Structures are given as C-alpha cells and as structure tokens.
Structure 1
Amino acid sequence: MEKQYFNLMQFFDGYVRNYRRMNLSHLHNISMFTKREIDYFAQLGEFLGFDAFVEDSKFDKSKGRSRPMDLSWWKRDARIDDEQFLYLALHLERESLPRRDIETVEKLFSKTEDAYIPHNVVGIQYVESAERMDYLNELILQKNKVQKSNVLMVYRYHDDELDLQRVRAYCITPKGLIEERNAIFNQDQSGYCYMCFEEDFAPFQRENLCKR
C-alpha cells in the first residue's frame, strides 16, 4: 500500500499553539509532562479518525523481541479489511532524558515486520545542546533511507542565557530535510507553561527591532 504522509509541520504548529491548554505548571513532575503531551497526540489521532494506542509495541528484529511505542496511530477500514488494520499511520516517541536520544531514534527506526513500518514518525527529544541536533538528524537521514517514513523531530534544550527552553522542529522525508521551525518553551507569570514561535516572543521581537 502506498504510504500516506501528513503535513507534520502542521502538527508542530498545533503542538506549540495549544501547549498552554495542557495546564502544566512548574509544580508538575516530568512524568506528568510526558503523559499530557502523549495524550495530546493521542486525541489528535482520534480526531483524525485513527485508532490511537498508548504504550503499544512492535517487534524489533535486531533485538529479537518486542519494544514499546509511546504512541501509535493505526488505520482501520472494514470496507477493505474487517479483521486487520490497514497500516501503522504514526509512531511517536517522547523522551525527557538527553542520554537516551540515540535510543529514541533507534526505536523510531527499528528493523521490524513490514506491517509495523510507520508511514509517519514523530520524535520529541530533550538534548544537551543545539550541536547535538545535527548529529541526530544525520543519523535519522541515514536510517530513513531504508525506512522511508515522513518524520517530525522536535528537539528541546535549555538556553542558559535567556533561562528558557528552545524548541526546534525538523521535517524530514526520504528525500532529506525539507523544513525547520523554531519556538520557545517558557512559563507565564502564574507559573504555567506555554510555547510560542520565536517570531512571536517579545524579547526576540525587541532584539530584531534593535538590529534594524
């Protein structure tokens, strides 16, 4: 079956613009951030008509065992097949620990059965620095030459100078890197977390005006 690709940068747009609705604050722990973000994408999949499964699994041929998927979207259509899903529409991994960045990539691009090769891939990964993203993207480009998925990688890292998180999204297809978008993650005056695009963030707007 021909792969069904999404405009994944639109998914990132919604993730950024709706982040405040997750009602996460500085009082919540890491596990709650992970849960709410995965739940957001699970609901998005259901709104789009897919069956969404949290903590699904797929067989990893290189390890000889099943490995978990944080989230999967499966396409079902009883008019075509009333017993089996038609394809794995999306595989998402969300990881807060930078030391597991390569493991996250390996999960998203593991050698598996044909029915479990995802048409679309989303990875949300914390990294130590901006330089690390280049290494991970090169690894993804290499692995995706084989898997041929539509990929959205969202990286988050702390900017010590501004004391906030920078968020960078990359869209990658089997042909290569096609689009990049930057945002920030911060807290409002009440301690609740939000995201906005860099061009909408007031300190960056003032900086750009000063440069003119």
Structure 2
Amino acid sequence: MEKQYFNLISFFNGYVRSYRRMNLSSLHNRSMFTKREIDYFAHLGELLGFDAFIEDSKFDCLKGRSRPMDLSWWKWDARFDDEYFLYLALHLERENVWEKDVDTIQKLFSQTKEEYIPHNVIGIQFVESFERIKYLNELILQKNSIQKSNALMIYRYYDAEINSERIYACSFTPEGMSEVRKAICAQDQTGYWFMVFEEEYQQADFDNEKISIER
C-alpha cells in the first residue's frame, strides 16, 4: 500500500499553540507531563478519524517479541476490510530520560512485520544538550532510508541561559530532513507551562526591553 503521509510540522505547530491548554504546572510530575501530551495526540488522532490506542504494541523482528508503543493511530474502513485495520497511520513515543534517546528511535524504526510499519512517526525526546541532536538525526536518516516513514522528532533540552526548555523539532521525509522549527517551553507567573515559537519569544524579550528603557 502507498503510504499516507501527514504534514507533521503542522502537528508540531498545534502542539506548541495548544500546550498551555494541557494545564501542566510546577506541581505536576514527569509522568503527568507524559500522560497529558500522549492524551493530546490521542485526541488529535480521533478528531482526524483514526482509532487511537495508548500503550499499544508491535512486533520487533530482531528481538523476537512485541514491544510497546506509547500511542498508535490505526486506519479502519469497513468498505475495504471489515476484519482488519488498513494500516498503522502513526506511531508516537515520548521519553523523559536522556539515556533512552537511542531506544526511542529504535522503537520508532524497528524491524517489524509489514502491517506494523507506520506511515508516520513522532518522537518527543528529552536530550542532554543540543549537541546530541546531530547524532540522533543521523541515526534517524539511516533507519528511515529503510522504513520510509514521514517522521517528526521533537527534542527538548534545558537551557540555563534562559532558565527554560528549548524545543527543536525536525521533520523528515523518506528523502531526508525537510524542515526545522524551534520553540521555547517556559512557566508563566502562575507556574503553568506554555510554549511559544522562538521568533515570538525573542520578539517578546525585545518588546519588554523596549518598555523598560522607555520607562
């Protein structure tokens, strides 16, 4: 079957714009962040007409067993098949632990049975620093040259200079990396987390500095 690709960078745009609606604050632990973000994408999949499953699984041929998927979107259409899903539209993984970054990519691009090859993949991965991203992207390019999915990797890392998280989103097609977008994840004055695109964050800093000078 010809793969059905999404415009994944538009998914990232919505993720950034909607982040404040997840109502995540300084009182929440990392597990709650994971849950809310996965729930967000599960709801998005259902709005787009897919069947969304949290804690799904797919077979890993190299390990000889099934491995969990944080989230999957499956396409069902009884006009074409009233017994099986037509294809795996999306596989998403979210990971807080830096040391598991390679494992996240291995899950998204594992050698599996044909019916479990995702048309699109999304990884939300915390990394130790910006420098780590280049290595991970090279690994994705290598693996996706075989899998040929549309892919979106959302990297998150702490930047002490701004005392906030930087978000670095890379979009891939089967031919290679196609687009990069950057954002900032920070807390507002009430302790709730929000995201804003980097260019808007920089403009806000400029406006605040301008107001301070004028005063």
Report the TM-score, using the length of structure 2 for normalisation. Answer: 0.95
Say how many residue pairs are matched: 209
Deviations 1:176-210 (A, max 9, x none): 00100000000000000000001111566529x99
| 2:135 corresponding residue in structure 1 | 135
| 2:54 corresponding residue in structure 1 | 54
Secondary structure (helix, strand or coil) at the match of 2:26 reads: coil
Query: Is 1:111 aligned with 2:104?
Result: no
Secondary structure (helix, strand or coil) at the match of 1:57 reads: strand
| 1:146 corresponding residue in structure 2 | 146
Cα distance in 2 for partners of 1:76, 1:202 equals 44
| 1:182 corresponding residue in structure 2 | 182
| 1:36 corresponding residue in structure 2 | 36
Amino acid corresponding to residue 49 of structure 1 in structure 2: G
Name stretches of at least 5 consecutive residues in structure 2 with no aligned partner: 211-215
Secondary structure (helix, strand or coil) at the match of 1:91 reads: strand
Secondary structure (helix, strand or coil) at the match of 2:72 reads: strand
Contact 1:69 1:92 in 2 (8 A): yes
Amino acid corresponding to residue 95 of structure 1 in structure 2: E
Deviations 1:107-166 (A, max 9, x none): 000000000000000000000000100000000000000000000000000001111000
Secondary structure (helix, strand or coil) at the match of 1:36 reads: helix
Q: CA deviation at 1:46?
A: 0.1
Report the TM-score, using the length of structure 1 for normalisation. Answer: 0.96
Deviations 1:84-108 (A, max 9, x none): 0000000000000000000000000
Amino acid corresponding to residue 178 of structure 1 in structure 2: S
Task: Please tell me the root mean square deviation across aligned C-alpha atoms, in Å.
Answer: 1.4
Query: Is 1:91 aligned with 2:78?
Result: no
Contact 1:198 1:204 in 2 (8 A): no
Runs of 4+ in structure 1 off by over 6 angstroms are none
Cα distance in 1 for partners of 2:110, 2:118 equals 10
Secondary structure (helix, strand or coil) at the match of 1:106 reads: helix
| 2:20 corresponding residue in structure 1 | 20
Secondary structure (helix, strand or coil) at the match of 1:201 reads: helix
Name stretches of at least 5 consecutive residues in structure 1 with no aligned partner: none
Contact 1:42 1:52 in 2 (8 A): yes
Secondary structure (helix, strand or coil) at the match of 1:18 reads: helix
Query: Is 1:10 aligned with 2:14?
Result: no
Secondary structure (helix, strand or coil) at the match of 1:185 reads: strand
| 1:199 corresponding residue in structure 2 | 199
| 2:63 corresponding residue in structure 1 | 63
Identical amino acids, percent of aligned pairs: 67
